Structure 1
Amino acid sequence: MEIEKPPVDRQVEKPAGERRGLIIINTGDGKGKSTAAFGLALRAHGRGKAVKIYQFMKVPSARFGEHRMFEQLGVAIEGLGDGFSWKSKDLERSGQLARDGWERAAATIMAGEHFMVVLDEITYPLRYGWLDLEAVLKVLRERPSHVNVVLTGRGAPLELVDLADTVTEMTLIKHHYNAGVPAQRGIED
């Protein structure tokens, strides 16, 4: 590691544009996509902003750590799916759940009552063909100008990336699974 001197005279030009709702995507094969989105949700909630979280692959009865904490904080989080595809007993039903969930999420976005709407793991139903990409893009383009939308999941479609204001790709460098260490409660849930 090379030691560097901390900056002491940082000149930053502030953007001159108006504040507006953003489209933020967390994608890639590394860990942290949902975690980063939840961090944004907590930041917004901490500022008194209305936040709604939809999880496209989690079941409505899920009680992971984030569900327990968001419930305590009064942040709405809703599972829309029936688990990841390899756990599904009926992929047709999984697709219908995703479509029904998208209708709820789209209505929430378009209503404009929330500062932030998180669409966690939405790239999976898009990639599986369960959701129409053009319909999702249309809602994102036509949403009220103050609504921020955060989308997560691997393999974000290029059309989404092109539309987004901020895109972060999480890169897998090393993962404990590869060393034989199983999922950890409080880390993966």
Structure 2
Amino acid sequence: MEIEAPPTERGSPKAEGERRGLVLVHTGNGKGKSTAAFGLALRAFGRGKKVHIFQFMKVPSARFGEHRLFEQIGLPIEGLGDGFSWKSRDLDHSAALALAGWQKAESLIRAGEHFLIVLDEIAYPLRYGWVPLEPVLACLRERPSTVSVVLTGRQMPQELIDLADTVTEMALVKHHFQAGVPAQRGIED
């Protein structure tokens, strides 16, 4: 590692534009997409902002770590699906749940009452054709200017990347699973 001097002056000019709602995308094959979205949700909620999290691949009865904490602090998190496709017993049912979930999320986005809405793992139902892309793009373009939306998932459609204000790609450098270490509660749930 090379040691460097800390900066003593601002590295970039201060933004002078108007504050507005943003579209943020967290994609890529690395770990941390949902975790980063939950961090933004906590940051906004901690500032007294109205936040809602939709999880497109989690079941409504899910009790992962984030569900337990968010329930304790009163941050709404809602499972819309029936698990990942390889666990589904009926993919037509999975598709119907995803579409109904999108309609619920779209309604909340368009209502304009929330500061931040998280669409966790929405890339999967989009890629599988369960949720049509055009209505999602239209909703994001037409949403009230005060609403920010975070979308997560691997292989996010290019159209969403193009529309977004901020896109972060989580790159896989190394993962414990490659060394045979299984998922860890509190790390991956």
- In 1, the alpha carbon distance for the partners of 2:133 and 2:13 equals 36
- In the other structure, the counterpart of 1:137 is 137
SS in 1 for 2:41: helix
- In the other structure, the counterpart of 2:37 is 37
Could you tell me how far 1:17 is from its partner in structure 2? Answer: 1.0
- Is the aligned partner of 1:166 residue 2:162? no
- In the other structure, the counterpart of 1:120 is 120
Could you tell me how far 1:11 is from its partner in structure 2? Answer: 4.8
- In the other structure, the counterpart of 1:175 is 175
- In 2, the alpha carbon distance for the partners of 1:126 and 1:97 equals 13
- In the other structure, the counterpart of 2:17 is 17
SS in 2 for 1:114: coil
Task: Supply the AA of the counterpart residue of 1:79.
Answer: G
Task: Supply the AA of the counterpart residue of 1:80.
Answer: L
- In 1, the alpha carbon distance for the partners of 2:136 and 2:160 equals 9
Could you tell me how far 1:32 is from its partner in structure 2? Answer: 0.0
Consecutive unaligned residues of structure 1, counting only runs of 5 or more, are: none
Count, aligned residues: 189
- In 1, the alpha carbon distance for the partners of 2:90 and 2:128 equals 14
Could you tell me how far 1:103 is from its partner in structure 2? Answer: 0.5
- In the other structure, the counterpart of 2:109 is 109
Aligned CA RMSD, in angstroms, stands at 0.7
- In 2, the alpha carbon distance for the partners of 1:93 and 1:31 equals 28
- In the other structure, the counterpart of 1:155 is 155
- Is the aligned partner of 1:54 residue 2:54? yes
Could you tell me how far 1:15 is from its partner in structure 2? Answer: 1.4
- In 1, the alpha carbon distance for the partners of 2:121 and 2:10 equals 37
- In the other structure, the counterpart of 1:99 is 99
| CA deviation map 1:63-102 (0-9, x unaligned) | 0000000111110000000000000010000000000000
Consecutive unaligned residues of structure 2, counting only runs of 5 or more, are: none
- In 2, the alpha carbon distance for the partners of 1:48 and 1:14 equals 25
Percent identical pairs in the alignment equals: 72
- In 2, the alpha carbon distance for the partners of 1:4 and 1:136 equals 45
| CA deviation map 1:24-66 (0-9, x unaligned) | 0000000000000000000000100000000000000000000
